[in-house]
Structure 1
């Protein structure tokens, strides 16, 4: 499951935010805000999705833009929470 974490995150983001792109077309290192037009409300939806998908709790102090900048940074954050 861990090696597919980026793909799972992409699928969750596209599904929850009703993006008009395919998950496989999202790039791991492209900015979610700059490239895909995701805003702070969408980030909150991503947080809820991550908590549901991975059974993790994201604390207020962990809610930093640096953790949610790209699919890659989200994946690294989730991996650190699952350890």
Structure 2
């Protein structure tokens, strides 16, 4: 797996003073996306809708609305 680009604004562009340990979104070489966020699996796992599930190797990661909205411009429609 290889990260090919950041999707959206960098932590510094979003106002992070140090630009470290901040949520982020990256596009991978295979077209998938990697997300750095706060692990909220334990908090949200029981709240998943009935038609949603999480594999044992998967985590529920939370990012802010601002991060996703800033990334929207960089995510292709198809």
Choose between structure 1 and 2: higher strand proportion.
2
Question: Rg bigger for which structure?
Answer: 2
TM-score, normalising length: structure 1: 0.29
Relative contact order higher in (CA < 8 Å, ≥ 6 apart): 1
